Structure 1
Amino acid sequence: MIYFDNSATTQIDPTVLESYQIVSQKIWGNPSSLHKLGETAFNLLEQARQQIADLMKVNSDEIYFTSGGTEGDNWAVKGTAIEKQNYGKHIISTEIEHPAVLNSLKQLEKMGYEVTYLPVNEAGFVQVADVEKALRPDTILVSVMAVNNEIGSIQPIREIGDILQAYPKVHFHVDAVQAIGKGLAAVLQHERIDILTFSGHKFHAPRGSGFIYLKKGRKLAPLLSGGGQEKNYRSGTEHVAADVSLAKALRIILDQEQSKVEQQQVIKEKIYQHLKNKSKVTIFSDITSNYASHILCFAIQGVRGETIVHAFENHDIYISTTSACSSKKNIAAGTLKAMGVPEAIATSAVRVSLDEHNTLQEAEVFIDVFDELYEQFKKINS
């Protein structure tokens, strides 16, 4: 089996799974309980929080555990809107955000908030000048993803952050779900970023785990009310085993990060160079440094994306139709639509997404299978 769908989800690391099992079996006290079982669980939870903070080079009281990227994005967007509604109701985002952000914004619009959705150019990048132009006295939030999950375009987060230095009251949220472990620490550590969203299952941690970074001094209204866990910000009994495993997975993914990124770039370039000369192939992800090393999006003219996915599946190779969250809806990729790609081509788009376990040998097998399928598709569409 060749698994090229790592942007959808990753396989849990065996050592991470082992940690999850050990904690689940042996540390089962409630962290809020006063007895020693609860205290043991609480201490382990705080150790995991400190480990994540150290890896992210932030303070431990700036890390909050969540259930993943969707909750994190919802909390960042809606939490800001509720917390800052007396200061304004204008939000700036882009047309290519993850549905967790876009659908949160749609909900807020129904509640009287105004959202400016910035366009992207034909290569999939938001323009910094558009962000600056959209800022208003009543703007309370700017939300821009770090790495687009469909084509891998790396958005100008640092440049946007530089602009927002002059607007200290505006929250700056960055969806970093596709950015962790991809050599983008300099981007994610920009001092002007207020909120970062992460999802564990994107870097070999258990599904249902995640965390956000919330800069000290910034406030979010809680979305979950209850027992006051996570300093009253995120109520609900903590999933200690998942959070401990999350910390371990983060340490592993960041270990020798640059060499892992370089390996993925080599694999991506090998596939890219083979596809670029095919007359019926359109590639949406470049191999320049402006694009993430692990995502390659392309289309085969006249063949729907789901057909391509299943054709590769028949050869035990697993890819996806751009965003996994909307792949079963048989609609054109939102990012490609925003880029002005014709629907007939956009609905043919598929995504190869890599991780540090993929190899050049797998890329060679993929290329051989691609050539076989390409000839079959040409006969069908001739």
Structure 2
Amino acid sequence: MERIYLDHAATSPVHPEVAELTYDMMKKHFGNASSIHGFGRDSRRILDQSRIVFAKSINAKTSEITITSGGSESDNTAIIETALSRKEIGKHLITTAVEHHAVLKPMEYLEELGFEVTYLPVDETGKVDPADVKAALRKDTILVSIMYANNEVGTLMDIGTIGKIIKESDSAAYFHTDAVQAYGSEDIDVKRDHIDLLSVSAHKINGPKGIGFLYINEDIHLPSLIRGGEQEMKRRAGTENIPAIAGFKKAVEIMEADRSARLSSFEKMRVFLLEQLEKAGVDFELNGSPDQHLEHIISLWTKGVSAEQLIVSLDLVGIALSAGSACTAGNIDPSHVLIAMFGSDSPRIAETIRISFGLGTTMEQIEILVEELGKAVRRLKKT
């Protein structure tokens, strides 16, 4: 039985070239980048070269890139440290109801400390209205955090418009975006879109787990979330993970080189999948924006069929997909994203699956998915 992985939005397989390079780095470049001897200088060189690649990928300066352990640390640093360091200016923050938990949990924590958080609603496509952002801004607003693209339904937010609104407002707000799911798929430009803080994670683009970065605009000075040494220009303590950083750099280079071909391939797979499901008589609707979305994420409402039962049935024949964010897998709570989009009484909440493409996905695998998904839906509707 061929095992088919269609849950790339949760995490992606490490690219073979990335794995090979990372292993090679583990053997040869073990020096501490803070050491002044040759071993340390070799590691420092790799670190500096990687930072250049990361910065270029989002049109930032190298000094604006702080390497972290991934998206969650980047989000927590951007949100918590901005709030705590700017509380004398104001204690109001803005986000949306569909953010990743790496954003929502820090917001909840700050509410416990006395901060006020406005959670903006989204429409049925999962998009926040920039006009709502503008209306929510106040003079005491110190941070707006809105994701670049939703990890469950793939909807893209109007980041450029929102950034311009914040910049032209009379608030003191910094603009943070969680770009973990969008990085690698979208043309991200922090200067063009007036982004002050941006979070990225390597494991979404076929890089190693446990590594990422946080872009911090050069005019912003945030304390380190992790206290200790003076690494990362005193922004993030801890000895740098040079093998993972080098692997991340390689993943970014591969991502940049094949972006156009990859996205074109995903678009064809997406169209083919939806057309074939209709031909197979599967009763479904697409969740998310029909025209402003990530090509590799497809959220489907399989009408009248339990998502949990469907996922288990497909797993038994070797096909892996999900019901939403992997960070809530095993949690009995329904998707907060779908609730925000459709309301808590919608049948979509319990009947939505997420299919996501990535490295290694083929049209032949999509054909197998259509066949097995059709079988499972027909069987489960009879029970």
TM-score of the superposition, structure 2-length normalised? 0.95
Contact kept, 8 Å, 1:174 with 1:197, in 2: the verdict is yes
In structure 2, what is the equivalent of residue 143 of structure 1?
145
Relative distance call for 1:276 and 1:117 in structure 2 (3 A) is farther
Cα displacement (A) at 1:286: 4.7
Q: Secondary structure at the match of 2:369?
A: helix
In structure 2, what is the equivalent of residue 58 of structure 1?
60
Unpaired runs of 5+ residues, structure 2, are: none
Q: Secondary structure at the match of 1:256?
A: helix
In structure 2, what is the equivalent of residue 107 of structure 1?
109
In structure 2, what is the equivalent of residue 129 of structure 1?
131
In structure 1, what is the equivalent of residue 360 of structure 2?
357
Cα displacement (A) at 1:287: 4.2
Whichever residue aligns with residue 264 of structure 1, its letter is F
Cα displacement (A) at 1:138: 0.2
Contact kept, 8 Å, 2:126 with 2:288, in 1: the verdict is no
In structure 2, what is the equivalent of residue 245 of structure 1?
247
Contact kept, 8 Å, 1:94 with 1:119, in 2: the verdict is yes
Contact kept, 8 Å, 1:276 with 1:282, in 2: the verdict is no
Equivalent of residue 43 in structure 1, options 35, 42, 45 = 45
In structure 2, what is the equivalent of residue 194 of structure 1?
196
Cα displacement (A) at 1:356: 4.5
Q: How is 1:321-360 mapped onto 2 (pairs within 5 angstroms)?
A: 321-341=323-343, 342-360=345-363
Q: How is 1:186-225 mapped onto 2 (pairs within 5 angstroms)?
A: 186=188, 190-225=192-227
CA distance in 2, matches of 1:100, 1:238: 22
CA distance in 1, matches of 2:245, 2:59: 18
Contact kept, 8 Å, 1:285 with 1:295, in 2: the verdict is no
Relative distance call for 1:188 and 1:302 in structure 2 (3 A) is farther
Relative distance call for 1:123 and 1:286 in structure 2 (3 A) is closer
1:376 aligns with 2:379: yes
Cα displacement (A) at 1:24: 0.9
Q: Secondary structure at the match of 1:32?
A: coil
Whichever residue aligns with residue 12 of structure 2, its letter is T
Relative distance call for 1:189 and 1:204 in structure 2 (3 A) is farther
Relative distance call for 1:22 and 1:330 in structure 2 (3 A) is same
Unpaired runs of 5+ residues, structure 1, are: none
Q: Secondary structure at the match of 1:329?
A: coil
CA distance in 1, matches of 2:348, 2:333: 12
TM-score of the superposition, structure 1-length normalised? 0.95
Relative distance call for 1:154 and 1:187 in structure 2 (3 A) is farther
Residue deviations 1:172-229 (CA, integer Å, cap 9, x gap)? 00100010121x2156553410111001100111110111111111122211110111
Cα displacement (A) at 1:47: 1.3
Contact kept, 8 Å, 1:332 with 1:343, in 2: the verdict is no
CA distance in 1, matches of 2:328, 2:60: 34
Q: Secondary structure at the match of 2:168?
A: coil
In structure 1, what is the equivalent of residue 179 of structure 2?
176
Contact kept, 8 Å, 1:269 with 1:287, in 2: the verdict is no
Residue deviations 1:12-33 (CA, integer Å, cap 9, x gap)? 0111111111111111111112
CA distance in 2, matches of 1:154, 1:372: 32
In structure 2, what is the equivalent of residue 309 of structure 1?
311
Contact kept, 8 Å, 1:209 with 1:246, in 2: the verdict is yes
Relative distance call for 1:2 and 1:286 in structure 2 (3 A) is farther
Relative distance call for 1:279 and 1:311 in structure 2 (3 A) is closer
Question: When the two structures are aligned, how many residues end up with a matched partner?
Answer: 378
